[in-house]
Amino acid sequence: MGQLRILIAGGGTGGHIIPALAVAHELVTRYHADILFVGTPRGMESRLVPPAGFRLRLIQVGPLNNVSLLTRLRTLMTLPAAISDCRRIIREFKPNAVFGVGGYASGPGAIASLQLKVPTMVFEPNAMPGLANRRVGKRVQAAAVNFPQAATWFNNAEVTGIPVRPEFFSLPSPPPDPLRLLIFGGSQGARLFNETLPKIVPALLDAVPGLTILHQAGAKNGESTEAAYQATGADPSRWTVRPFLDDMPAQFAAAHLVMSRSGASTVAELAAAGKPALLVPFAAAADSHQLRNAEVMEQAGAAELLEEPELSGEPTRLLESLVGLLESPVRLAAMSQAAKTQAHPDAAARIADRLASLA
């Protein structure tokens, strides 16, 4: 057959491209595969794929889901050309299989590969699949999903999990005291946390003696969020605000409880680390996929779920939830064990093996 060639189509957000890169590295390591990525100029793939050592071809296509009518019409007008571009790239590269990872380029890539009868596999990290994957799910030859609930949307689906950095699976447990709360909201979801937490921080620190807080506020909001904490008069030795945290595995290791959004990659990291969480889904996420992810973790006993309206106004519900969790070490320990049941330490290898066998 010659060298294994895999085309990976998709990207947009880190939740799409970071797992794709992990699978690409696994394909190179295990099968000496030749990898070609197809993405768009607007996605994170333009910044992440070339430095990782992989070739990237760009097509022009935009979003269809959760956007204005005008944006949807523009995307529909460019879609035929995007599919045509993908067909040309596939004919030139001659892949043994195409792997759609979600995001803008995934739909055109998967449609083109199906039209050319190239074996096609898709990856779905969320409990509710995105629009591109829902459109092609029953036509592809295989699928890798993170949640069993997503499998019904696809032909020949396997629950593989999301590739997560190995460090998350071997974190030491934090010492019993002092308790530490880690808060982060992601690139889109930090604003609500930045505005809400200062409203309750004095009461939270009073209710949980010794508690310390580390709050990642986002690159553009570090100073304003720190100023909001300072204005509360809360003991500055017990809270820290940072615009960005470089070593997230180490911060997970030090935390007894994590408050975060429920994007697929975040949920996978929480599971790998066995961290109890208070999850607040980003309400504007397409197809409410963050809500579906959080519901799965809550049903597993690994997290408590709060929706955005419960944080608006006077966030007494948030304060009650945080205090209730932090004051119950037995419950935190049970949530930690439940989180680990949702982890998939061999996800990248399983997806790479599936692609190789499909090819």
Q: Among 60-64, 104-108, 126-130, 245-249, whose mean pLDDT is lowest?
A: 60-64
pLDDT-derived band at 298, boundaries 50, 70, 90 = very high
State yes or no: pLDDT of 1 exceeds 60.
no
pLDDT of res. 63: 59
**329-348 mean pLDDT:** 95
pLDDT-derived band at 178, boundaries 50, 70, 90 = very high
**172-181 mean pLDDT:** 93
Alpha carbon distance 281, 336 (integer Å):
20
Alpha carbon distance 147, 310 (integer Å):
26
Assigned token pair, 223: 């100073």
State yes or no: pLDDT of 185 exceeds 90.
no
pLDDT of res. 122: 95
State yes or no: pLDDT of 72 exceeds 90.
no
User: Which percentage of the chain shows pLDDT scores above 70?
Assistant: 94
Which tens digits make up the pLDDT trace of 4-22? 999 999 888 777 888 999 9
pLDDT-derived band at 217, boundaries 50, 70, 90 = very high
Alpha carbon distance 178, 210 (integer Å):
5
Mean pLDDT of the chain: 90
Q: pTM of the full predicted structure?
A: 0.82
Q: Where do the domains of the chain lie, and which CATH numbers do they carry?
A: 5-164+345-358 (3.40.50.2000), 168-340 (3.40.50.2000)
Cα 2 to Cα 14, 32, 89, distances in angstroms:
32, 11, 19
pLDDT of res. 177: 87
DSSP 263-311: -HHHHHHHHHHT--EEE---TTSGGGHHHHHHHHHHHTTSEEE--GGGG
339 CB neighbour count, 10 Å cutoff: 24
Residue bearing the bigger pLDDT, 311 or 67:
311
Task: Count how many residues are written for the chain.
Answer: 359
pLDDT of res. 79: 77
pLDDT-derived band at 71, boundaries 50, 70, 90 = low
Contact at 8 Å (CB) between 112 and 141? no
Cα 8 to Cα 201, 232, 355, distances in angstroms:
45, 49, 11
User: Which percentage of the chain shows pLDDT scores above 90?
Assistant: 67
| Residue found by looking up tokens 């959080």 in the block | 294
| Residue found by looking up tokens 């969020």 in the block | 225
pLDDT-derived band at 284, boundaries 50, 70, 90 = confident
| Angular region, 103: left φ>0, alpha ψ -120 to 50, beta rest | left
pLDDT of res. 67: 59
| Residue found by looking up tokens 């790239």 in the block | 89
pLDDT-derived band at 280, boundaries 50, 70, 90 = very high
